[in-house]
Amino acid sequence: MDPGGDDQQFWLSGTLRVFAMEQVEFLQRLYHNALSFSLVGQRLVKDLMVNEAGQKWILRARSGWVAVPEQPAIGWWDGWAERAKGLVFFAINISTTKGLADAPKRQAIATKVLQSIDALPEDV
């Protein structure tokens, strides 16, 4: 299989490019145990994705970062928030010339958005 790009960024710009909505669709299938992996494996991944939790909510997320010399760094953070009011799936990708100094912005931006729609409590 030809990823259609260099081996570091094929998922960003090659023929196997992954878009935010595709990330969300993948996470929805994972949430419903509908991936072609064992149920035990899917449950383990979901347990590993717990980022933060309170008595009435859980935030499951995963992140990544890729930096190639002389190009903007690209980071992502995606997952879902679980509350009694329901689920909210999310995916954020950022591009930055400041490298890892901007890495925390992925989670900060997504958290603020999730709080603004009441998917996460304000004190997260």
> Distance (Å, rounded) from C-alpha 95 to C-alpha 123?
27
| pLDDT for position 28 | 98
pLDDT digits (tens, 9 = 90+) for 88-119: 999 999 888 888 889 999 999 999 999 999 99
pLDDT value of position 18: 67
Q: What is the DSSP string of 101-122?
A: GGTHHHHHHHHHHHHHTTSS-T
CA angle 74, 45, 123 (to 5 degrees): 70
Contact status, residue 90 vs residue 107, Cβ threshold 8 Å? no
Domain parsing of the chain, residue ranges: 10-116
Q: Please tell me the pTM assigned to this model.
A: 0.84
Structure tokens given for 78:
């995606």
Please tell us whether the domain made up of 10-116 is placed in CATH 3.40.190.10.
no
What is the rounded distance in angstroms from the CA atom of residue 90 to the CA atom of residue 78?
Answer: 5
Q: Which residues of the chain have pLDDT under 70?
A: 1-18
